[in-house]
Amino acid sequence: MSIIYFMGSVSGAHVNPAVTFAFALRRNFPWIRVPGYIAAQLLGCLAGAAILYLILGIDGRFGASSPGQGISMVKAFGLEVLLTAVLVNTILGTASEAGFLGPNAAIPVGAYIALAGLWAGSLTGASMNPARSIGPDLLWAHYSTTWIYIAGPLLGAALGVALEWALKGKPSAAAARAAQGDGDGDGDAR
C-alpha cells in the first residue's frame, strides 16, 4: 500500500514487470515505455536484494523466492499464474475506477498482496513479480527456479487481462491515466 500511496501519482506505482506488461496489454500503458520501466524495476529489486545481503548476509538468501517443501516446480508455476492473475484483476479493477477510488486503490491491492503472502508465501514465496525474484536470484546465483517467477507472473498477467477484457470490454480513458500515474485527470503524469 505504501508504494501506491508514495509512487502512484508519479509512475502509476509500477514496481512489477507483470503489472506493467498487463497495463500495456490492456492498452492502458504505451509499449514504448515498458522497457524503461522494467529496467528500473529490475535495478530496484537488485538494489533491494543487495541491501538484504548487507543486513542479513548469505543466510538471508537475499529474499529469494523458491517453491516450498513438497511443492513441485509445476505446482509452484501454477500457483504463481493464479496469484498474479488475481493480483492483475485487482489492480486493473481499481485502476479502472481511479476517479472513484483515487489513492484508496492502495487498500484492496495491498490487502490482496498481504492475503496472497499469508496463504501462498510458504508454498511459492508468493512473488507475483518477476523483478522481485530475479534480483535475489542474480545475487544468489541460483537460477533453477527463476523461470517459475518469470513465466508464471507473465502468463498470469495475460490471463488477468483476458478476463478483464471479457468482463468489462474496452478500458476507459481514466484507467489509462491511472496506469501512467495521472489518476486525477489533469494530464500531468509526473
CATH of the domain at 135: 1.20.1080.10
**How do residues 103-128 score in pLDDT, each as one tens digit?**
677 889 999 999 999 999 999 999 99
Residue 129: closest CA among 159, 164, 154, 104: 154
Residue 133 cell numbers, joined: 525474484
Helices (H) and strands (E) in the chain, counts: 9, 0
pTM of the model: 0.85
Q: Let me know if residue 78 belongs to a domain.
A: yes
**How do residues 55-93 score in pLDDT, each as one tens digit?**
887 765 667 899 999 999 999 999 999 999 999 999 888
CA–CA distance, 145 with 119 (Å, rounded to integer): 20
Q: Let me know if residue 188 belongs to a domain.
A: no
Identify each DSSP E strand in 59-176 by its residue range. Answer: none
- Total domains in the fold of the chain: 1
Q: Let me know if residue 190 belongs to a domain.
A: no
Q: Let me know if residue 23 belongs to a domain.
A: yes
pLDDT higher than 70, residue 186 = no
Residue 112: closest CA among 98, 96, 92, 97: 92
Q: Let me know if residue 96 belongs to a domain.
A: yes
**How do residues 79-89 score in pLDDT, each as one tens digit?**
999 999 999 99
pLDDT higher than 70, residue 10 = no
Q: Let me know if residue 152 belongs to a domain.
A: yes
Residue 159: closest CA among 100, 102, 77, 36: 77
Q: Let me know if residue 184 belongs to a domain.
A: no
Query: Cβ of 64: how many Cβ atoms within 10 Å?
Result: 23
